[in-house]
């Protein structure tokens, strides 16, 4: 009645600051289009390379789903680290540390990276549907949920590693090296369940994989949320 | 430390002598005879060396993780020295476990590497150790290096349950103790071990653990001296 209670107010403040971080990143991205262009060109070149290799072959669904996630992995590795490296390069890290709390920064960056990864995997899906006649999604539910949970899990792991890597001297090469061991459980699971979707298996067959994906996502977000303070603060 | 040193030497000597010398017979009658395990025969002797070494490599990672966690709490660089010493030892044991396992796989499964889930997990552990040291070498100041490598080891530790407990269960494998193996489904392969084999086996586990403690203690002392020497030079 007379203004909201302090708890609600704090939550609203928290969410608006997160959205402010996201909109700041979106705006600076739209200004240069660095990540978007780089990612798009990377996707096109890697899919073209795979097409050259597999042009006339009758490829199995396992190979197709493996190739699908290989493209997403390496594309994500070339673009997702920008989110923190750009702050270091422009020298804006200190400002961000002053104006926002670490958890706000982390969640904002996570949301931005999640959006980027989702857009990326949709673009790869679209290209695959056009380029490979054998890439037919027979089970739409499994595929959609796999892409959604997989991208979110990817973004969760990639964001905290990007924060670590921004402080290192060899940023570009170290990023996939650090991310790969962390992402292997996720990659193996999404590859398997994408193959299930291409084979047109029943929804219940992929439930085990979804459980793994959900728990991976939760562990990664919770863990990085707690650890981010130590990475971010000098 | 002297007691630990002599105990570990005694244990490992006993394991080497007993593990190699005790004959394997179809119907064991006395304490100095092992039963023949079908499908493994004399190759089963590897369990006295391979499993304790693999255990020590996991121990090295856990201790590194523990001291990494301690460092984040205390900001005491001595904890970081302990963490990196333990990670270095863990890497050595991890390489030994990979080599002994791979040699065994050549004679038991026909090739050095089969991407069995357990081979995959030891490969990931090797990758994590590699990434950990690559990250450390890319970071400049002592504090930043200690902080970020601690965060990375915790992050890598978070994904460990996936490839230790979940992956070997959902992916069928060849390794004793895998999903299809009726012998057991615990992380440590519960082979058809007779009581005397089990005794030697646990003696090996204890012996290699003590060896780890002794070597770790030595490495930490050396690391402290090196640290102080480098401080004095500057």
pLDDT tens for residues B20-42? 888 877 777 777 777 777 667 77
CB B144 to CB A224 under 8 A? no
Calculate the dihedral angle through the C-alpha atoms of B214, B215, B218, B219, rounding to the nearest 10 degrees: -150
Q: Three-state DSSP class for B3? A: helix
Closest-approach residue (CA) in chain A for B120 = A184
In angstroms, rounded to a whole number, what is the distance separating the alpha carbons of residues B80 and B165? 28
Question: Which residue, chain included where needed, has tokens 């390794």?
Answer: B175
Give the closest of B139, B147, B170 to A168, CB-based.
Answer: B139
Residue A103's alpha-carbon distances to A113, A187, B113, B156, in angstroms, are: 15, 27, 43, 21
How far is CA B190 from its chain centroid?
Answer: 17
Strands of B18-70 (E only): list them: 24-25, 34-35
**Using the beta-carbon criterion (under 8 Å), do A184 and B156 form an inter-chain contact?**
no
- Beta strands B34-35 and B24-25 are parallel
Domain positions in chain B: 2-233
Contact B155 A227 (CB under 8 A): yes
Is the CB of residue A182 less than 8 Å from the CB of residue A158?
no
Task: Work out the angle at residue A78's Cα, subtended by the Cα atoms of residues A209 and A80, and round it to the nearest 5 degrees.
Answer: 65
The pLDDT tens digits of the residues spanning B84-134 come to 999 999 999 999 999 998 988 888 888 888 877 778 888 888 999 999 999
Distances (CA, A) of B142 to A36, A133, A206, B145: 36, 54, 46, 5
Rounded Cα distance between A165 and A147, Å, is 26
A161/A81 Cα distance (integer angstroms): 8
What is the reported pTM?
A: 0.86
Beta-carbon-side half-sphere exposure of residue A138 (alpha carbons within 13 Å)? 14
Query: Tokens 């690391």 — which residue?
Result: B223
Average pLDDT over residues B137-160: 89
Chain centroid offset of residue B104 CA: 16
Phi-psi sector, B115: left (phi>0), alpha (psi -120 to 50), beta: left
Contact between B154 and B69 under an 8 Å Cβ cutoff? The reply is yes
pLDDT at B163 over 80: no
Render each residue's pLDDT in chain A as its tens digit; 234 residues.
Answer: 455 677 888 888 889 999 999 999 899 888 888 778 888 888 999 999 988 888 777 788 888 889 999 999 999 888 888 888 888 888 888 888 888 888 999 999 999 999 999 999 999 999 999 888 888 888 898 999 999 999 999 999 999 999 999 888 777 788 999 999 999 889 988 998 999 999 888 888 888 889 989 999 999 999 999 999 999 887
The B residues from 123 to 142 touching A (CB cutoff 8 Å) are 124, 127-128, 130-131, 134-135, 138-140
Residue B165 DSSP one-character state: I
Contact B158 A169 (CB under 8 A): no
Residue A176 CA to residue B196 CA, distance in Å, equals: 47
pLDDT at B172 over 60: no
């Amino acid at each position: 009645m007379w203004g909201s209670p302090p708890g609600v107010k704090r939550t609203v403040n928290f969410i608006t600051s997160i959205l402010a971080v996201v909109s700041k990143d979106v705006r600076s991205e739209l200004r240069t289009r660095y990540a978007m262009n780089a990612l798009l060109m990377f996707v096109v070149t890697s899919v073209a390379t795979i097409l050259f290799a597999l042009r006339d072959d009758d490829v199995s669904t396992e190979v197709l789903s493996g190739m699908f996630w290989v493209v997403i992995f390496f594309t994500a590795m070339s673009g997702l680290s920008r989110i923190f490296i750009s702050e270091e390069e422009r020298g804006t890290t200190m400002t961000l540390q002053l104006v926002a709390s670490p958890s706000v920064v982390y969640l904002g960056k996570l949301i931005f990276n999640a959006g980027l990864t989702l857009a990326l995997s949709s673009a790869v899906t679209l290209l695959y549907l056009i380029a490979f006649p054998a890439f037919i999604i027979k089970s739409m539910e499994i595929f959609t949920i796999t892409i959604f949970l997989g991208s979110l899990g990817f973004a969760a792991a990639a964001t905290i590693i990007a924060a670590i890597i921004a402080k290192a001297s060899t940023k570009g090469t170290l990023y996939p090296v650090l991310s790969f061991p962390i992402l292997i459980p996720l990659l193996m699971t999404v590859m398997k369940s994408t193959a299930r979707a291409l084979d047109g298996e029943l929804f219940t067959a992929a439930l085990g994989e979804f459980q793994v994906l959900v728990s991976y996502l939760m562990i990664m977000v919770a863990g990085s949320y707690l650890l981010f303070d130590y990475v971010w603060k000098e | 430390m002297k007691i630990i040193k002599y105990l570990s030497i005694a244990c490992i000597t006993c394991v080497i002598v007993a593990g190699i010398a005790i004959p394997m017979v179809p119907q064991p009658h006395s304490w100095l005879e092992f039963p023949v395990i079908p499908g493994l025969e004399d190759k089963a002797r590897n369990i006295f060396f391979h499993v304790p070494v693999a255990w020590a490599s996991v121990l090295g990672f856990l201790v590194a993780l523990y001291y990494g966690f301690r460092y984040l709490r205390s900001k005491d660089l001595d904890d970081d020295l302990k963490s990196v010493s333990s990670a270095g030892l863990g890497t050595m044991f991890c390489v030994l476990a990979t080599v002994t396992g791979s040699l065994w796989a050549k004679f038991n499964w026909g090739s050095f590497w089969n991407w069995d889930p357990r081979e995959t997990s030891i490969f990931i552990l090797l990758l994590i150790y590699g990434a950990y040291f690559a990250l450390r070498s890319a970071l400049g100041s002592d504090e930043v290096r200690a902080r970020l490598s601690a965060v990375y080891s915790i992050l890598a530790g978070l994904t460990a349950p996936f490839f230790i407990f979940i992956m070997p269960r959902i992916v069928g494998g060849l390794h004793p103790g895998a999903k299809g193996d009726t012998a057991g489904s615990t992380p440590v392969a519960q082979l058809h071990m007779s009581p005397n084999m089990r005794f030697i086996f646990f003696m090996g586990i204890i012996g290699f653990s003590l060896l780890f403690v002794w070597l770790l203690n030595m490495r930490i002392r050396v690391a402290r001296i090196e640290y102080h020497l480098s401080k004095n030079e500057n």
